[in-house]
């Protein structure tokens, strides 16, 4: 029987379940994916999220559909539907593009290929954590944004994977956790993962980051990525660009940690990266509580793009990249 388990995803011989990340940290709620429409809804509502994991969920769901007897034409249609579910994280497109040529093969072949992509992500995360480790000095104070650990990957994570690796190496890192408004990936998910890992941390509102830099309390910034363009311009959760500008101003190193599956050599730069427009509701209310007058017009991009010139280096499975030319080769 083929099975794989990640922090927020379980594949077992033709069934796929995801940990509903919207319910964390108060509830641990596993949901079995029923069909392609269901998976699209789970991805769009951020029940399952993070650049690597949405790609992995998509390819594993194609294995589910193949094992349920769907023909190649239907599988290709599902693949196209999943590909369009979120626009910014290129891992989704990259992984589907790698599985697509196999969709007219038997279900065992499709499953083996999907599972291999899961295993690859686990290995990429490990490699990233090895590459990033030398950047951490004992007791260093790291600021991070959004959530980049076990929850959004098949493995130990990207930026947060380096942090937990440093913790295991006895370097006792301290993490400043950006709340990451409006959906709280920092407060709900990163604080949760750091608590589980026993890493010292404090949570602050995103708007407090500047004062932390000004007080000299940040030694380095490490964040994840959703798409790295050929020139090194990097899309990540909205708010990342603000941190990069601050880091430059205050002379603090700013690193991106990401697997090569996040690189899009066909994308020339910032202007060509599609940025997801998130629903107004995310700003207008919180649960049942209204946060702004109904009907208020909103600007709610899910991501922003940090120009390569503000990035000290990219911690990748291919090593620490300091010259963005590497992304176009």
Q: Is 184 an interacting residue with respect to ligand MRU (CB under 6 A)?
A: no
Binding residue positions for substrate: 49-51, 86, 185, 236-237
Minimum CB separation of residue 226 from ligand MRU in Å reads: 5
Minimum CB separation of residue 186 from ligand MRU in Å reads: 10
Minimum CB separation of residue 302 from ligand MRU in Å reads: 5
Of the residues 226, 233, 264, 304, which one makes contact with ligand MRU according to CB under 6 A: 226
Q: Is 187 an interacting residue with respect to ligand MRU (CB under 6 A)?
A: no
Nearer to ligand MRU, 141 or 237 (CB): 237
Chain positions 40 to 99 lying near ligand MRU, rule: CB under 6 A, are 46, 49-52, 89
Name the segment binding ligand MRU (CB under 6 A); options: 25-33, 115-123, 153-161, 164-172.
153-161
Greatest Cα-to-Cα distance within the chain, rounded to the nearest angstrom? 60
Give the binding-site size for ligand MRU (rule: CB under 6 A).
Answer: 19
Active-site pick, 121, 226, 233, 264: 226
**Cβ–Cβ < 8 Å for 229, 273:** yes
Binding residue positions: 49-51, 86, 185, 236-237
Residue with tokens 């941390």: 201
Give the CB-nearest residue to ligand MRU.
224
Of the residues 85, 129, 167, 185, which one makes contact with ligand MRU according to CB under 6 A: 185
Q: Is 167 an interacting residue with respect to ligand MRU (CB under 6 A)?
A: no
Q: Residue 304 catalytic?
A: no
Minimum CB separation of residue 102 from ligand MRU in Å reads: 25
Q: Is 172 left (phi over 0), alpha (psi -120 to 50) or beta?
A: left
* Residue ranges in contact with ligand MRU by CB under 6 A: 46, 49-52, 89, 146, 148, 152-153, 157-158, 185, 224-226, 236-237, 302
Residues with catalytic roles: 226
């Amino acid at each position: 029987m083929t099975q794989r388990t990640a922090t927020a995803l379980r594949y077992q011989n033709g069934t796929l379940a995801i940990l509903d990340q919207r319910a964390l940290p108060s509830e641990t709620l596993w949901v079995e994916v029923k069909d392609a429409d269901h998976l699209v809804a789970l991805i769009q509502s951020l029940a399952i999220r993070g650049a690597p994991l949405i790609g992995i969920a998509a390819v594993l769901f194609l294995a589910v559909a193949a094992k349920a007897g769907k023909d190649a034409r239907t599988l290709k249609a599902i693949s196209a539907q999943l590909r369009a579910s979120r626009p910014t994280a290129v891992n989704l497109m990259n992984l589907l593009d790698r599985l697509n040529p196999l969709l007219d093969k038997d279900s065992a072949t499709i499953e083996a290929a999907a599972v291999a992509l899961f295993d690859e992500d686990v290995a990429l995360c490990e490699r990233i954590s090895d590459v990033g480790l030398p950047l951490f000095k004992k007791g260093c104070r790291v600021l991070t944004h959004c959530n980049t650990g076990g929850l959004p990957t098949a493995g130990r994570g990207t930026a947060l994977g380096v942090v937990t690796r440093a913790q295991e190496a006895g370097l006792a890192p301290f993490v400043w956790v950006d709340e990451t408004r409006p959906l709280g990936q920092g407060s709900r998910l990163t604080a949760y993962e750091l608590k589980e890992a026993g890493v010292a941390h404090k949570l602050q509102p995103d708007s407090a980051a500047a004062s932390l830099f000004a007080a000299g309390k940040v030694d380095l910034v490490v964040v994840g990525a959703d798409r790295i363009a050929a020139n090194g311009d990097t899309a990540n959760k909205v708010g990342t660009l603000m941190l990069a500008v601050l880091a430059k101003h205050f002379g603090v190193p700013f690193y991106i940690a990401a697997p090569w599956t996040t690189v899009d050599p066909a994308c020339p730069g910032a202007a060509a990266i599609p940025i997801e427009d998130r629903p107004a509701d995310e700003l207008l209310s919180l649960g049942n509580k209204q946060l702004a007058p109904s009907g208020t017009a909103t600007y709610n991009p899910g991501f922003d793009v940090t120009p390569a010139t503000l990035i000290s280096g990219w911690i990748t499975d291919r090593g620490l990249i300091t010259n963005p030319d590497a992304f176009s080769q």
